[in-house]
Amino acid sequence: MPPIYEKPSYEKYDYVLIGGGSGGSASSRRAASYGKKVAVVEATPYLGGTCVNIGCVPKKIMWHAADLHEKMTQHASGYKFTGLGTPKFDWAVFKLQRDAYIRKLNGIYASNFEKEHVEFHQGFGNLTSPNTVEVTLPDNKGKYTLHADKICIATGNQPTVPSDEEIPGASLGIASDDFFDLVEQPKRVVVVGAGYIAVELAGIVNALGSETHLIIRGETVLRTFDPAIQEVLTPWMEKTGMNIHKMSKVVRVEGQKGQTLTVHTNKGEKIEVDVLLWAIGRHANTQGMGLEELGVKLDAKGDVVVDEYQNSSVDGVLAIGDVQGKGLVTPVAIAAGQRLSNRLFGPEKFKNDKLSYEDISTVVFAHPPIGTVGLTEPEARKKYGDDAIKIYKSNFRSLYFSMIDEEHKEPTMYKLVCAGPEERVVGVHIIGQGSDEVMQGFGVAVKMKACKQDLDDTVAIHPTSAEELVTLR
């Protein structure tokens, strides 16, 4: 195991980062590649942050398991596979295997630090000046100070959970991060929230056979996404057996942890479940770090306010990733961190390097998956005016489902949002099998400011779902 440092190795570092997640790791390694003295302060024993440990990676692994369960139980018979019996998912054993893979990734992160001469200091970091970070060792076993020319805040965010004062019994539930600590598959689950985390986790347990309830405040899930996505996904989730409680709020929770919970809604419903999972949003990890005392400006949500070059309001203190409230996905933190180190420590050609936060592709691992980039239709109409917008849309089912029973045929919807007389593609919104993989290439096209004619000029790949995006009329 690579070393974990418990004291400074230098009188002064070039760069100290607080947070060893995706952004902190990427930025530190890029800085070290320029020969700089770099240290990362991480409160947990595991590098990789939310994404590696309790986010994207274990979530996608669970999505694969759920997707495979659907294929075996609902699709295989359509392709005339017989003798499969009733597949049973062993959650407990799979958790051990999944966790072992995550520990392997942690080891790779740590090994990369050692190879690239980035110091890993395990402890809680707080700023005592614009050039000093105080490190408190685990279990308060001691403190020491790291001096640096530049300090970067890369502490990410954490789930927001209501207090018992706000909702009596709320603490009987778990946060979305705790989902991966569940040792056994819950038979009955309530997920509260309509965002992508709620949709993904509810989709996983539902596809694996748990009785699943989703409590949302509005009529549809994913309310910040293009309306066409909402209109396709919400009814399909209901069709797959998920119980969606619309226009609803949790008002009280009764029971004891580890036993049956009764979730009461504002509509008078009583839902008995084994697990209540809150997925109602996240907030920045900025508490207790001495930021406000130092003059680092935070917004109303607690995010670090930064300019286009990731500078905070205090000279020499920077912030990247979820803690600064923009582009809350792992690749954004990585890209911003690498560009920041290029600008701070790289050659002259990178002196103005920065990340553009426009047209960032994202996916949602729902069932079926979703891909999106650019402006939604309402956003585009607001920006360019109704007369300047033209919509191209197609609803269909992929060829894969031609052999599958009607009730299990997943929907696919592809939509282009085009603006101006040149019909520049300013938004792509797709849902359906394979949309997560399709999105990456079309994300490049939008970033390059492709127009509808560019897509029309591209010869289709047949038979694929993706070809629909270059044949829309």
How is residue 438 written in tokens? Answer: 């399709």
Put residue 22 in one of left, alpha, beta given phi > 0 → left and psi -120 to 50 → alpha. Answer: alpha
Helices (H), 346-393: 377-384
**DSSP, res 36:** -
> CA angle 221-51-170, nearest 5°?
55
Segment (H or E) for 206: helix 196-207
Contact yes or no for 54/364 (Cβ under 8 A): no
Q: How far apart are CA 319 and CA 422, in angstroms?
A: 38
Segment (H or E) for 28: helix 22-33
CB atoms closer than 10 angstroms to residue 7: 11
Q: How far apart are CA 373 and CA 193, in angstroms?
A: 22
Q: How far apart are CA 44 and CA 194, in angstroms?
A: 30
Contact yes or no for 121/41 (Cβ under 8 A): yes
By three-state DSSP, how is residue 80 classified? coil
Question: Is 283 annotated in the active site?
Answer: no
Residues 6+ apart with CB under 8 A from 52: 21, 22, 46, 102, 105, 106, 109
Contact yes or no for 366/376 (Cβ under 8 A): no
Contact yes or no for 421/387 (Cβ under 8 A): no
Instruction: Select from 311, 321, 313 the least CA-distant residue to 291.
Output: 313
How is residue 128 written in tokens? Answer: 């005592």
Q: How far apart are CA 397 and CA 410, in angstroms?
A: 7
Q: How far apart are CA 174 and CA 193, in angstroms?
A: 13
> Known catalytic residues?
462
